[in-house]
Amino acid sequence: DVSPVVAGLIGATVLVVSVSVTVFVWTCCHQQAEKKHKTPPYKFIHMLKGISIYPETLSNKKKINRIRRDKSGAPKESGRGNLSVDAAESGLVGAEKAPDGPNAAPHVDQLPIKVDYGDELSPDQSLTPGGSKTSSPSSPGDDILLGELTFSVDYNFPKKALVVTIQEAHGLPVMDEHTQSSDPYIKMTILPDKRHRVKTRVLRKTLDPVFDETFTFYGIPYSQLQDLVLHFLVLSFDRFSRDDVIGEVMVPLAGVDPSTGKVQLTREILKRNIQKCISRGELQVSLSYQPVAQRMTVVVLKARHLPKMDITGLSDPYVKVNVYYGRKRIAKKKTHVKKCTLNPVFNESFIYDIPVDLLPDISIEFLVIDFDRTTKNEVVGRLILGAHSVTAGGVEHWREVCENPRKPVAKWHSLSEY
């Protein structure tokens, strides 16, 4: 015998549990369906000595790692995947090395750096207007020979696939003075959309690397080949800092006809010209230093003309701010994610306590990152201000901040890809 009250409670409990289980099962099925339907614009297969690699199916736990050894002979894992947030933070852009001397290392671990969120500022609130597009300063070594790259282009009509084989390179310059050699690898991108960023493996201590790696891109109609450009970026791996850029090769497919079979090509590697690179967008930031309080205020204002990173033609950008002392990162913060926009407005400020005597060795790195729930977040562009700034506009902005204490200085900067 059960009283009506108890029977009612039991019935209500069963009903709530049933509804909860139904909602949970429906949510899981809906998420699985979304993952199945969300496919990249093009699929590609990477062939390396007869082994097929499907990068689009690799999760964060299934990376292809290769064993590298440092100078002491101890093994060290090094995974080479698509450009990711972790890879982008491996070092600062620039040819300068870490500060040497017996007093450099002890100060790094004991810096009195403190990070706080500040109040959100309006872009018109006491900010210095101005700023212009920056460009890379010209280098006197434009006529230096950087070697040659040999590759082939083919098209598979039944599968609608573009097949690119990176074969070898010859006569690369020495990038490591200690070994008088280089550790080259190649990044390849299909322009103008930049939907594919693939790379070869790293070959150790050679100036004439033989890669013999094939990348097959599916879903590219033959009629669109005339509008595409192959961009090869030749780099040298550096274990202790940012990888060195050797040069680049641009190959418009408008002058290549793979309809009759494989086309063998050899192109000279040219010095990378940042001005000719497709824009990664612009970022507006404001800096202000208070010498009495010894405090640096960094305001991420807004960005514009960011590249399309999602299938929808938009992006979900946010900005990560890293502070470096020499080559060591000592602080990091990030803004909120702005959904479905190529021109986000952030208006978020960060405060760092930095002693005056450390300013000459401080660098502030801004990483504009596209947020993705299903795959790894991808770096859209990079900006560095401070000691390791590589652009004329970045150097000028930092100089104005140091010479005008207590005055917020805001400028627009073009984002670089690497």
Taking the domains of the chain in order of start, what are their residue ranges? 147-275, 281-415
Residue 309: name the closest of 348, 277, 342 by CA. Answer: 342
List, run by run, the mean pLDDT of 10-residue segments along the chain (418 residues): 80 90 89 62 49 40 39 42 49 44 41 43 35 36 73 88 90 84 89 75 91 86 85 86 83 84 89 62 93 93 86 84 89 91 92 90 92 81 88 89 92 83
Q: Rounded CA gap, 393 and 400, in Å?
A: 11
The whole-number pLDDT of residue 177 equals 78
Pick the CATH number of 281-415 from 2.60.40.150, 3.40.50.880, 3.30.70.270, 2.60.40.1180: 2.60.40.150
Residue 304: name the closest of 262, 361, 273, 343 by CA. Answer: 343
The whole-number pLDDT of residue 94 equals 42
Locate tokens 């083919």: which residue?
A: 154
Tokens of residue 132, six digits: 């212009």
Tokens of residue 290, six digits: 């208070």
The whole-number pLDDT of residue 407 equals 93
Q: Walk across the sheet containing 229-236 and list its strands.
A: 197-199, 184-191, 229-236, 244-252
The whole-number pLDDT of residue 52 equals 44
Q: Write out the E strands in 157-236.
A: 161-170, 184-191, 197-199, 210-218, 229-236
Q: Rounded CA gap, 410 and 397, in Å?
A: 8
147-275: in CATH 2.60.40.10: no
pTM: 0.45
Q: Walk across the sheet containing 282-290 and list its strands.
A: 115-117, 345-353, 295-304, 282-290, 409-414
The whole-number pLDDT of residue 345 equals 94
Q: Rounded CA gap, 127 and 132, in Å?
A: 15
Strand partners, 117: 350
Instruction: Tell me whether domains 147-275 and 281-415 share a fold.
Output: yes
The whole-number pLDDT of residue 274 equals 53
